[in-house]
């Protein structure tokens, strides 16, 4: 089983739609979680951290479910500029390494 | 704030040639450093990580090696490149707490 798994997509949704991605992780000792956005041929950029209580940043909402070992990202009122690949990231300090999911491709159509 | 420099940005190398990619970090000391590779259309694969000078952990057996000669310098090398070494190479370091990880702008390597 992969340490971090994501649905690769692609998700192709119309502008204004709401879209959600999930990401599961295998190591229960993992402690911090993030969502990154990667545009074509660019380095990943931090979108948001994921807190245990859930957190929101504008149109973006992130949730963490430790019992089921998954994190989620919800994008509301999607914009054309949201088209990108979204990567979930899991940090396991005891293993001194950070693991990226393979990414979910999102394409927003007009 | 922390900044990661990587160079070169793009590189085309023949099969069998050597490789040296450099990553340097500014704005922090004794950072954990990571080398990732991303093949075309794929996710990021962790290659090496380092928690300090001279300390290298390898995640996957491969044709590459890494070294950490200085606190803020991380080097990825190969003696003889293979076609399968082509990809987008990224250096990363923790930015601290909720700020996640900082990435360099990457090196796009094409082995021909």
pLDDT at B16 over 80: yes
**Token pair for B3:** 């900044």
Of A106 and B100, the structure prediction assigns the larger pLDDT to: A106
Question: Are B46 and A101 inside 8 Å of each other by CB?
Answer: no
Query: Which pair of tokens denotes residue B23?
Result: 């990553």
Nearest by CB: A98 against B98, B101, B106: B101
Secondary structure element (H or E) that encloses residue A53, with its range: none
Find the mean pLDDT for residues A60-83.
96
pLDDT of residue B109: 96
In 3D space, the residue among B102, B69, B87 whose CA is nearest the CA of residue B19 turns out to be B87
Q: Which residues of A touch B32 (CB under 8 A)?
A: 96
Is some CB atom of chain A closer than 8 A to the CB atom of B90?
A: yes
Whether the pLDDT of residue A18 is over 70: the answer is: yes
Q: How many CB pairs under 8 A join A and B?
A: 53
Supply the pLDDT for residue A51. Answer: 87
CA dist B46 and B57 (Å) reads 10
Please tell me if residue B89 touches chain A, with a CB cutoff of 8 Å.
no
Q: Strand, helix or coil at B85?
A: helix
| Intra-chain end-to-end CA distance of chain A, in Å | 37
Predicted pLDDT of residue B107: 96
| Strand B107-111 with B44-52, pairing | unpaired
């Amino acid at each position: 089983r992969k340490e971090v798994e994501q649905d690769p997509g692609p998700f192709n949704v119309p502008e204004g739609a709401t879209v959600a991605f999930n990401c599961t992780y295998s190591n229960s000792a993992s402690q911090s979680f993030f969502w990154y956005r990667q545009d074509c041929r660019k380095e990943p950029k931090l979108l948001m951290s994921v807190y245990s209580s859930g957190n929101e940043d504008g149109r973006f909402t992130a949730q963490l479910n430790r019992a089921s070992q998954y994190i989620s990202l919800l994008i509301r009122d999607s914009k054309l500029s949201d088209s990108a690949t979204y990567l979930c990231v899991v940090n396991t300090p005891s293993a001194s390494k950070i693991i990226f999911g393979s990414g979910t491709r999102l394409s927003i159509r007009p | 704030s922390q900044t990661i420099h990587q160079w070169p940005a793009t590189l085309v190398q023949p099969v069998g040639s050597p490789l040296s990619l450099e990553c340097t970090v500014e704005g922090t000391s004794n950072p954990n450093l990571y080398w990732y590779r991303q093949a075309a259309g794929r996710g990021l694969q962790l290659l090496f990580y380092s928690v300090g000078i001279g300390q290298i952990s390898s995640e996957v057996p491969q044709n590459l090696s890494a070294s950490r000669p200085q606190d803020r310098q991380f080097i990825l090398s190969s003696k003889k490149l293979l076609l399968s070494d082509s990809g987008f190479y990224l250096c990363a370091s923790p930015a601290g707490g909720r700020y996640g990880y900082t990435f360099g702008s990457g090196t796009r390597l094409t082995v021909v």
